[in-house]
Structure 1
Amino acid sequence: MATKTDFGPLVADVAEALGGPDNVRSVTHCATRLRFKIKDSDKADLKRVGEIDGVITAINAGGQHQVVIGNDVPLAYQALLDVPGMRAKGIKDGDTEATVDDGDEGSSDKNLLNKFIDLISALFSPIVWALAGIGLGKAGLTLATTIGVLDTESSTYAIFNAMFDGLFYFLPFFLAVTAAKRFKVNQFIAMAIVAALLHPTLEAMVGAEGVTFLGLPLTMMSYSSSVIPVIVGVWLAGYLQRWFEKVLPGAVRNFFTPLLVLLIMVPLVLFTIGPVTIGAANALSAGIGFLFDTVPWLAGAVLGAFWQVFVMFGLHWGLIPVMLNDIATQGFSYIMAPLMAAIFGQVGAAIAVWIRTKNPEVKKVAGPGVLSGFLAGVTEPIIYGVNLPLKYPFYAGAVAGGIGGSIIAVGGNAFDSFVFPSVMAFAATLSIGSFMAQLIGSSVALVLGFVFTIVLFRKGEKEEKVEGSVDKQKSVATPNVAAAVSGTYVPLAEIPDKVFSSGVMGDGFGIVPDNGEVVSPVEGTLIAVQKSGHAYGIRGDNGVEVLVHVGMDTVKMGGKGFEILVARGEHVRAGQPLVKVDLRAIAEAGFDPTTAVIVTNSKKLEGLQVSNVDGHVDAGDVVMRMEA
């Protein structure tokens, strides 16, 4: 199996043949090729590039110098960034140099909620494994203290607690790094902003009266474990950084830029995000307190359904002081009891995903995430790594949590100590209200979260089956390849892209689509799914390796008009929808919609030929088959 190291000599030669790193404005990659933007084309020798061992071909098209590598292009791209002088030139697949600022490239066709969810998922995906693994440690520590193996007053417990809680407490630091990458901000500037917000001196001011800055009154909040304030702060910092880098003289730019960004952003966050969050949290706290006094079941439903959302936006900080005060003054807190349903609803949904998903990456996160959520109430791994990215499990868990929370609140249940809601926390619910109601409400949330997610899973499968009813190519051992979209058949040599039409990528065909539903031409596993939605690599169960490339140069659309329906690692049926494409958007952007279906290992499959096809084909019609 090829590795990044194998491509080191190749990409070094490519960079040199293109005039060196100083002649490269930017570079990205799509499904099969490296795409360079060059400053001076006269310094770039494409003929020399095409002769480099490992390069399939090199062309100048669409204003880019395109170097075709094949299916291993991601490894070549990673190796290219290690070439001295190239790291800063790399941009993500689907990004454009003009639109990297807003953190949501290529998704203007999505609604605001989907944009928000996609953004949160992208920022958490690099750290989700750490959250899942360390969450297990936190769950184990909770178990050890519950059964009496560890004393919570011991120094051993304190060290273990710091070990397993540090990531969650200092989560803003980690988000500063991922957000900086997403919003094109210097990561050290981003971390410096967060460091100020988490500094012990500022943390000590939380709740204090008479806090001022430059004579102006300031309301302090805790930013530990926060999500949205950090993301917004880093996003705004990106605009400041780029502006200062543009206007400051070169002699002072490098050290004045971080200084000025910090001087502006820290007070800005403290005076805006902090007070707004605190005001919203206090209003939320007052509203839920009113509901508990007047309509308890509704208060329980709100907490059970929306607690995870409150945490995400930092609004829970308005409720935590109320909980602590209630326990200190009256010995119990009604607000905490329904939170058990909020946790269990999401855990139940994640269990369903873990059982039903065929995506190994999702399954690996869901398993340990379920344990940490169930045993310790640590839901970050399943929220940010499983339920929220998939959307419907998060919704299912929220609805289930609302129902369970309502049952708990009607039972008059309360926590008599401040502990994380989890299976270990049931002991804190024994003395106030109906323990049976607490048990039933929590169990209902767990079961309904599971059932709702299973039902939605089945619904999705049925819809795919109906939409993919053109699945005329059954799962057989014969290496057949079907049409990926309905439309007009185009012979390989007539595909309007030199790389495909020349056959260097493999044998295949094209289709000018007459609708926007693109399906899998074979049954197999998705080994590549481009973030821009324009290309998919499938390793067929029948031995065929297929590239489905939707449109020519549509990578430049950055995902606009492409609704991806699958994920890398997922097993798909022949005829199962891969992506929904807005053909009008492609036309308005000035690109050719011809969809190429290329068998990249056709040289190893002697006898695989295009059938007698002329004119119109339907998605699922067998176009290539093994001839005797």
Structure 2
Amino acid sequence: MTSATTRDRAEAIIEAVGGPANVLSLTHCATRLRFELRDAGQVDRAALEAVPGVLGAVPQSGDRYQVVVGGAVQTVFTQITHLPSMAGVGTGRASDAEVKAAARSRGRGRVAWLDAVFEYLSDSFRPLLGVLLGASLIIATAAVLDALGVVDFRADDKPATWVFVDAMWRGVFYFLPIMVAYNAAKKLQVDPWLGATVMAAVMTPEFLSLSSAASTVCTTNDTLGTTACVADVLGLPLQLNEYGGQVFVPLIMVAVLAPLYRGLKRVFPENVQMVFVPALSMVVMIPVTAFLLGPLGVWLGSGLGDALAWLNGNAPLVFAIVIPLLYPFLVPLGLHWPLNALMLVNLNTLGYDFIQGPMGAWNFACFGATAGVLLLSVRDRDVQMRQTATGALAAGLLGGISEPSLYGIHLRFKRIYPRMLVGCLVGGLIIGLAGGVDTNAFAFTSLLTIPVFDPIPTYVIAVAAAFAVSMLLVVLSDYRTPEQRAEARAAREQAEADLALAVAATPTPGSGAARSGGPGPVGATVAVTTAVGAPVAGEVVALADCGDPVFSSLALGDGVGIVPVDGTVVAPVAGELVTVADTGHAFGIRTDDGVEVLVHVGVDTVQMAGAGFAVAVEVGQRVAAGDALATVDLDAVRAAGFATTTLVTVLNSRALTAVTPHGPGTAGRGDTVIDVEA
């Protein structure tokens, strides 16, 4: 029922603004839909204001239009954007994918082939994020159990149960080359199962058994402590490697397979390609991989690992600082995958990795900056940013995923990066000065994976410092420019004003209009409201001349404006106060017979945040006509740059037979300025 009603409302709004073809873009604040139209003259304002839930329609300059919806604006906005007819209409706010694309386009484009290489690397790994994260969490759980003494996961004689647990996560890393080959082949438009098959061939028990052949000669790498064997196959030397966990080999292999595959498809007719293209590709690529590309990939990975190990061993402070300072720039561009691949190489060759520890400083600095944004959004009552930051922080702290923070927040507000980099530097310094942090597992750096790092105290201190520094810097200096803060404050104040008006226009339990027994207090004779008095003494002006587009449009009902001669504000009718703005600038009164009257003191005075306003009443209080509502310092209002015109309207004008404002003139407090016919 609710879904259908909301959908009907969404369709009715779009139809009233001229249909989907008339909408260029649609955004929203906390209470208003903001349309950019091709032709604002096509808007049927009467139909728009008649849509249930629409509090008013306000034309803006040019072809912009605002529709006041109130607190349901997010629901209505979402329903509108999901209408099939609105599929091609922009929402104004860039999506995370668009932010990512923009970041990458700024960092790439000078060298096309290099861009293609990094995109190839990124797309070969990105689909594996889920299983890699899953494996890292299993490893973290195992590490916690090991730390608690439940089981020794490093023992050679573990119970079968825990050997099986090992298999759950080792399966991901051992068969990672096959998974990478599949993705890489798919990226280069090669049959992905062909790429996976070629890689699987050098990981079979038959291939591994060649190391025990009589003619095989084995040597040891003193630096890495690994053993390599060379077998005599067809009279040629074949270097035997353990390809489980290798990632450079499938990347190189698929890059060579792609032109061969496409060439064979050009040679053979379509009706026989399924038979000959895969077969010949396997016959060529499996030997080429085994004899040449496999050893080349292993040498490449080992060489890079050696170089980084040398830097980490000889200049650990430099290494620990460079890694976290690089990552904030590599991740948005998708260039971090080569380093991630080296982590896997290190684990496969050395049995441990020294890159992930410093990388944790970057991740937690990133999450700290997001936490700072969350704290400011809570303080500023910014609902949208609070939701964004909460989700991003949860993904980071629990999953080690930085992308929601980067694309949802950090790349949108450029002040965050310098503050986050300070956190990266602090975390890196701590790790470097302590001699580094290692891990024997590939783990996304989150709260759940802390136990896999060694030494744990160093790592905890480093990431906590990175998190705290970034968070405090963001909180103390804000993540927005002064202009962005002013824009956010104005949007929030407008939202609060709209929400206050929405509350005033909504029947509340206990009000006369809402009681099943009829209007007015139970057992009492209900007085009929025929007039609305002036809440202030002064010069009466038409709403069209009040200087506020919302009131001028009659979106909040018909009424008058009064330029006051003093600051005493009284109730224009008798009834119950259903709204008393915290800022003291707005009061909503519902009479016993259901007439809803709004008193709004000044234009845009919500921005004064209550300064100069002394409120004398509270929500739920009953008042008689002429009772004091507030005292206002008119000089303070003028000094703040706002008009003092006080507006009084009948919010539910459309539900009454007639609402007739009096013409321009002067009025004393309590003098009739609006005639009402129920």
TM range (shorter): 0.3 to 0.5
Could you state the TM-score of these two structures normalised by the residue count of structure 1? 0.45
Could you say which structure has the greater relative contact order, defined with CA pairs below 8 angstroms and 6 or more residues apart?
1
Could you state the TM-score of these two structures normalised by the residue count of structure 2? 0.43
